Structure 1
């Protein structure tokens, strides 16, 4: 609205705080757009690179600090690179959570998950191709630390809580209604690193079904693999439901940009140029001086 002053505060409030239009479960029109397939391709490429970069840090040694930082920095870089294209999910648990909260359509979430899983598998096989064969049996495979007595139930709980935290951070940092403070990619990357620092000794701190699947397929190792699908997805969905319907202070409220766009499409308001008021003030001053 550059160059215009719109005196429509009451009407804008009614638009902004009116009932939500909701989200579409299936929007077949979006598959006909280039931007949709560009986004799907971005999820494929980002997940492939993330799995390669993160998993490579765990091949030759078990330095937990290095691994934690590698995965955190890798996801931060991928979100910075592709976030504006696809949203930078790079994680089936995130895409499914976004579909549950109706931020994206179920169709988009499904194709994102397909792209992410294929990308993760290819990324793991690329890592396998550049890694000496002596290490092919464990290409950063995630598994519960049964040697220390971690049970399947405990591993499930750890993955659920880690992914719950991650997805809640994602919702909080990308909320269009919050002030634009800080970097979303940095906050999310640090959360992934934090998850590794705190729980890598329990489960490997996956928080990402695609990441675990890629390593499992490339290494042909599927022990306790169900934990890395059920746990993260359950945690992501729980975070989605709680943020969207409990903690989101703007639930059902359009953003200011959406309200302004709705207003622009309404024929019942008038946009008045700022100069109108300046000219009116000058005329009043001239009239006063002539008295």
Structure 2
């Protein structure tokens, strides 16, 4: 059963050159993703005199994040699996596809990548503020919490179906494309309510640089719960009878 594959790992594995290379790949991929996604929002706000919270701004955010994640996952896939998201890493861990210590390396790299991207944006735009995720007018804390769970469930379920499932076959670039598309679609669905994070690293960098932690817990708890549910459901129901897992995500567990 999948639960038997969950492992802490060893410190030797966490310090292995392949693990460190994977961590660096996660850092770079997350930096690319956050810089493009957060930067597009800042650019749109500047060009429209602060009118980023409009239908056009929502569509622009969905497109920029979808495209950027497609690229970020694709360029990291052959090195680290292209998680680019602590929730994806957690979902992979719950399914026994990455060890805990290797996952911690990924988390550190992802959070650093997001933070550095926001610092670079603030510097290169002459001090413009990187906006922390926040609840939109009329949205409740618990409504946003459930929304983050559901959207991240869809994201991590897509990761399992297109990247982790050993039955996926040789679908190549389809996995990064599908992952980018589900994020873009979820932004269109949830962006007007809570910003549609689905990614604790994406929320962490702007919050740290702007030092705005209002309701920040939602953007950790929601995605992690949604990712864990997706990992358990896909592993137990659809992959429970298989003994192998995707080499992209398991290469660091050996």
TM-score (norm 1): 0.75
CA contact (8 A) 2:83 2:89 kept: yes
Q: State whether residues 51 and 120 of structure 1, in contact with CA within 8 Å, keep that contact through their aligned partners in structure 2.
A: yes
2:75 pairs with one of 71, 78, 81: 81
1:189 counterpart residue number: 180
Q: Rg larger in 1 or in 2? A: 1
TM-score for the superposition, normalised by structure 2: 0.86
Q: Distance in 2 between matches of 1:32 and 1:218?
A: 29
Structure 2 residues not aligned, in runs of 5+: 46-51, 248-254
Contact kept in structure 2, 1:19 and 1:253, CA below 8 Å? no
- The residue number in structure 2 matching 1:35 is 18
Equivalent residue for 1:26?
9
Query: How far apart, in 2, do the equivalents of 1:101 and 1:165 lie?
Result: 16
User: 2:34 matched to 1:51?
Assistant: yes
Give the ranges of 4+ consecutive aligned residues of structure 1 lying more than 4 Å apart after TM superposition. Answer: 18-21, 255-258
For residue 141 of structure 1, what is the aligned residue in structure 2?
A: 132
> 2:169 is matched with which residue: 167, 179, 189?
179
Give the count of matched residue pairs: 234
Is 1:159–2:148 an aligned residue pair?
Answer: yes
Separation in structure 2 between the aligned mates of residue 224 and residue 255 of structure 1, nearest angstrom: 39
Shift of 1:85: 0.2
Distance in 2 of aligned mates of 1:142 and 1:19:
34
Q: Which runs of 5+ in 1 are unaligned?
A: 1-17, 259-291
The separation in 2 between residues aligned to 1:115 and 1:20, in whole angstroms, is 26
How big is the shift at 1:150?
A: 0.5
- Whether the aligned pair in 2 keeps the contact of 1:195 and 1:205 (CA below 8 Å) is yes
TM-superposition CA deviations, 1:251-287 (whole Å, max 9, x none): 24234999xxxxxxxxxxxxxxxxxxxxxxxxxxxxx
Does structure 1 residue 237 correspond to structure 2 residue 209? no
Query: In the aligned structure 2, how far is the partner of 1:157 from the partner of 1:79?
Result: 26
Conservation of the 8 A alpha-carbon contact between 2:148 and 2:222: yes
Residues 40-92 of structure 1 deviation map (CA, whole Å, 9 limit, x = unaligned): 11111111121111100111421111111111111110111111100111111
Q: Does 1:150 align with 2:139?
A: yes
- Provide the secondary structure at the position in 1 that maps to 2:216: coil
Question: What's the CA shift for 1:23?
Answer: 4.8
